Structure 1
């Protein structure tokens, strides 16, 4: 469960937060720890320690803008110093088009928290509506290990099913586990909450969370507390289709995967041109798929597997080399 302002959550009483979390089957709290380059005073080692001692997983979250990425990374890293088990990066409209800032932020954040510290990334659920936002950097090599899209169906103005389908379709290309954020704010009906949980379970999401604690009604708490979740047959949400003329971050992601798979002639510029189409055709021909040069539902899984295998072999070589030379 997400917490924005701790003093306005259960009157700022950690004891009441712990009691309500336990009563309603909440296992983790995500508390705002920084905004831009400014750490928030509510995220203290004492508060984190008390919540963890009660059996809760505690993570910080930081809203970032991209104008001062080095300072933002320093502020974000303080969550780990305070005892957080993970940090969730919240990048939205202000970060659109800021690829250089995203790269600087992620490199500096990783330098400060280490290569294995758990990071999550949260943003808009529909990548196609925000195709200049650098999802591929935040979720790329050295980036966040978990993708946490904000599936606020009432805010979007659609149904839970439609929102979840499109979110999965557009986010699965980044190859990270999808842990969706649902909504209790805007008076989300309990039937919607149940539907969200059922779909997440059907698609084997490692987990899910809710925005936001202070807006959750008693009826919604009861809906969260029940262990009765409907069983749905998993349905394939599909994949985005990219072709000549396509632009934006999904194209950047595809191009980065093609380079990782060994197609060095491809440049990750976000424009689907002839070289990208040729590399996609090579991928397709290698698996006896129709050689269209269109990155479609049959081609995406092949590309993700091939790139992943190449990256794994490269990382293994680096690890062996480091061991042989005594570097750690």
Structure 2
């Protein structure tokens, strides 16, 4: 599921505008938060949460920021376009780290802070979790001027993501009450795409703290995310992802036969490489756009190159600071 969502992220950065935008931006970022909640491990302490997320998110963020920032500053300086203010914006992150190749890095720190906040509220009863998450959602997106956007490293941008984590965790709690995931997931997807097609639900842009049509867009994002999860489980067989997932949150081997094991051997590395894809793909898109290629060509070439880089890095035992993965062995 993480692979599909990352493909949608790349597509959204290629086709920024146009008819396809509502069908991508309505779910391609929220689903990552929903998946985090769905795969949530209750027995982890706050300290362990911070340590794990620091290793898997903040360390790669820092390394890639250094790599991409060095290249960007060098290019801009040679062209006479660089300013100290630009460097400060890159280091501050969030909405301020804009332009090429920093389109997507805001999400990494936003996910870090959203996960840490949810760890703080996860001992609360489920209804209390929802109350806190909704309050943070409202504070983040509906206060005029969006003052939280000035907080460093996407701390403010993480606030709307917390409600999606709570939604994913709620699905985990009540997943056993959904006996026909394929039917339910398909129905949710069809209904969501109908609502989008009728323009009753506008797309979300969480980086801009734009949640589209009040309430409706958030519910549509949840419906698509849950629908995709249920449909994937119905097609693949077995229980919730949480019961057959690896400790790193990627799809693990199932006990349903050699076919599922072969699929897991393909899907797991692709999912593990997805963080690298997040960091690399804006630069790849930028290079191919300068060559005047069609959007379709840019999309497929970016998918191929960005994932190839991610998969290649996974082969090196000490690539964790770049990939966010634990060292093998």
TM-score, L = length of structure 2: 0.23
Q: Indicate the structure whose relative CO is greater, using CA pairs within 8 Å and at least 6 residues apart.
A: 2
Return the structure number with greater helix share.
Answer: 2
Return the structure number with greater strand share.
Answer: 1
TM-score, L = length of structure 1: 0.23
